[in-house]
Structure 1
Amino acid sequence: MSEDNLVYSTELGRIKPVPAKAERAKGDGIVRIQRQLSGRRGNPVCIISGLDLEESELKKIAAELKKRCACGGSCKKGNIEIQGDKRDLLKQLLEQRGFQVKFSGG
C-alpha cells in the first residue's frame, strides 16, 4: 500500500480509504438472451443481459416477462433470469418493447 492511499484522522490515526462504488458496465445497445443449463440440475434458464436500465425498471420488465411467459424468474446483478427455455417468446416480447435482441451462447 503506498502513502498516497492513506488517509489520516485525528481520532483514529491512519485509516484505509473507502473504495469507490463500482458502477455497472454500460451495454452496447444489444440485448442478449442466453440459455443456460450448467449448475442448474439440467433445468434450462434464459438469462437476459445488456439491458441498460435502472434496477427498478429491470424488475418491472422481469415481472412483465414472467407473467407473459407463465413461469418464474428473478433479477440478479443487472440480468433477468427466466425459468424454462422460452427464448423465442422472450425475443418477440423484447422486440415489441423496442429492444434489439440477439441470441447468445448455446
Structure 2
Amino acid sequence: MDLKDQLKNLFPEHEVPEEPQEEQSDIWLQDEPLECRFEKRKGKVNTIITGYTGATEDFKILAKDIKTTLGVGGSFKNDTIIIQGDYRDRIMDILKEKGFKVKRVGG
C-alpha cells in the first residue's frame, strides 16, 4: 500500500487534482545547421552558437535552456548565444536531442 492509497483511506472525500502536463516549447527548427564554434575573447574561453533564423524569443529560450542544463553562465547578444567555457560537444548533443542540425566550426 503506497502513500496515495493510505491518504485515500484516511480522507475518502478528498479529490486529488490532476497534475498539469508540462508544455513542450515549440522552438522552430530550421533546415540549415547551427554553427557551434570555440573562441577566446579577452583571454577567456567561450563557445559561440550562431545561425538561427527563427524568432529571437525562441533563440533566447534555447539559450536559457542550454545555460541551465550545463549549469554555466552566458549571454544572448546580436543573434548569437555566448556560453562561458568550452562545451562544444555537450552543446551539440543538447541541440541534436532537440532536433537541430549542428555544424562544428573550427578545431
| TM-score, reference length from structure 1 | 0.68
The structure with more helix, counted as a fraction of residues: 2
Give the match's secondary structure for 2:44. Answer: coil
Q: Name segments (4+ residues, structure 1) moved above 3 Å.
A: none
> Gaps spanning 5+ residues in structure 2: where?
1-29
Deviations 1:16-43 (A, max 9, x none): xxxxxxxxxxx86111101001xx2321
The structure with more strand, counted as a fraction of residues: 1
Q: Please give the alpha-carbon distance, in whole angstroms, between the structure 2 residues aligned to 1:58 and 1:83.
A: 17
* Shift, 1:94, TM fit: 0.3
Q: Percent identity at matched positions?
A: 35
How many residue pairs align between the two structures? 78
Give the match's secondary structure for 2:43. Answer: coil
Q: Please give the alpha-carbon distance, in whole angstroms, between the structure 2 residues aligned to 1:52 and 1:80.
A: 13
Output the amino acid matched with 1:29.
Answer: E
Give the match's secondary structure for 1:98. Answer: coil
> Gaps spanning 5+ residues in structure 1: where?
1-26
Within a 5 Å distance, the mapping from 1:30-41 to structure 2 comes to 30-37=33-40, 40-41=41-42
The corresponding residue for 1:44 is 45
The corresponding residue for 1:10 is none
Q: Alpha carbon RMSD of aligned pairs, Å?
A: 1.5
